[in-house]
Amino acid sequence: MHILHLHSTFDPGGKELRAARLMNAFGPKLRHTVVSAVPDARGAASAVDGAIDVSYPSDFEPLAGKPFPARLQRLARAMKPFDLVLTYNWGAMDAVMAHAVFRDFLSLPPLIHHEDGFNQDEVKRLKPSRNWYRRIALARSAGLVVPSQRLETIALNTWQQPRSKVHLIENGIDTRAYARKSAPDVLPRIVKRSGEKWLGTLAGLRAVKNLPRLVRAFSGLPEEWQLVILGEGPERQAIRDQALRLDIAHRVHLPGFVADPAKGVGLFDLFALSSDSEQFPISVVEAMAAGLAIASPDVGDVRSMVAEANRPHVARAGDEEALAAAIAALARDDALRESIGKANKKRAIEHYDESRMIAAYRAIYSAASGHAELG
């Protein structure tokens, strides 16, 4: 069975690392071809097991461009050799439209779309033109997978997708891998020194994550606290510039992408999110499984994800002062962090272990493709 993955980007982030975990879970009997709408954004490839048969072609029809009929037909023809097409986010929506227009004419394989969230330009309000385009393009897909309750509501009401085609699958992880504490020198270019405490986050360094906000919210913490941001992306310099302006660059660290996030999270003392928009952030689940308390804006499903004891530290979305206060309150109270962390860990194990997620994706992909290898 040969699966085509069409991504808006394949830089390390929640959806990309989930796709890599699913490839690993499905095993070496399957073949995968991965295409990124941003051709050089392929950093998540390092998370795919070496035993998996996966290719990253450089000559695939570009996913970005004007949706003219000739281009859409070329995109459709490029999908024909595969058994199942998986598309991800707005950056792959032209491929979804191409499939809808030419599916029957070219006898194309089934397509399942995954929508994990929105870019900075749709944080405050979805664009009506994109809503219409999604509605038309998705009409002939085999299914639409979303990770959050908010996206499920948008899929059903705004994009008017039938209930039978919309699948809510919450992100899951191997919770056992996060039970271990890490060695202080496990990360590249940084060592946790005795007496230090780390406020950490895992994120693609993109504008929607608003990591300069996290730098500002962190800036009032005592000197023993360090801010460690694990991830890679175009906002690296903006984060550094903010730290320099606040004269805390010596306490703000960007080691880059870490292929095994459990190792990095195992060094954190407190986890924080600063995004303008999220849906069901897998980094929050990872922090919960590691037994961490979490400070976050009230974005996506975060408030319902964390344990009840953690919910008072979920600040109003967009309120930077409230986020800074939540971080400060947790940073100064070791016992509070520990008790909330234990509650979060229990909830992660009970609700967000990846075995459920993998089984759900396996069932949906098998039903769409009819291939027993996924059964």
CATH of residue 338? 3.40.50.2000
Q: Look up tokens 């069901």; give the residue.
A: 280
Task: Report the pLDDT value the prediction gives residue 119, as an integer from 0 to 100.
Answer: 75
One domain for residues 187 and 325: yes
Task: Report the pLDDT value the prediction gives residue 242, as an integer from 0 to 100.
Answer: 98
Is a pLDDT exceeding 70 seen at residue 269? Answer: yes
One domain for residues 141 and 271: no
Tell which wins on pLDDT, 148 or 329: 329
* Percent of the chain whose pLDDT exceeds 90: 85
Task: Report the pLDDT value the prediction gives residue 270, as an integer from 0 to 100.
Answer: 98
One domain for residues 50 and 84: yes
One domain for residues 295 and 197: yes
Range of the domain at 89: 2-172+354-374
Looking at residues 295-311, what average pLDDT do you find? 96
One domain for residues 143 and 189: no
One domain for residues 191 and 340: yes
Looking at residues 249-270, what average pLDDT do you find? 93
Nearest-angstrom CA–CA distance, 87 and 85? 7
By CB atoms closer than 10 A (0-12, 13-18, 19+), residue 336 is: middle
One domain for residues 369 and 329: no
One domain for residues 207 and 270: yes
| Range in 67-81, 156-170, 174-188 the model is least confident about | 174-188
Q: pLDDT for 38-61, tens place per residue?
A: 988 898 999 999 999 999 999 999
Is a pLDDT exceeding 70 seen at residue 10? Answer: yes
Looking at residues 240-246, what average pLDDT do you find? 98
Q: What is the dihedral of CA 135, 139, 142, 144, to 10 degrees?
A: 10
| pLDDT tier at 375, thresholds 50, 70, 90 | low
One domain for residues 324 and 310: yes
Task: Report the pLDDT value the prediction gives residue 90, as an integer from 0 to 100.
Answer: 94
One domain for residues 166 and 181: no
One domain for residues 265 and 229: yes
Nearest-angstrom CA–CA distance, 302 and 311? 9
One domain for residues 246 and 298: yes
| pLDDT tier at 286, thresholds 50, 70, 90 | very high
Nearest-angstrom CA–CA distance, 244 and 227? 13
Is a pLDDT exceeding 90 seen at residue 12? Answer: no
User: How many domains are there within the chain?
Assistant: 2
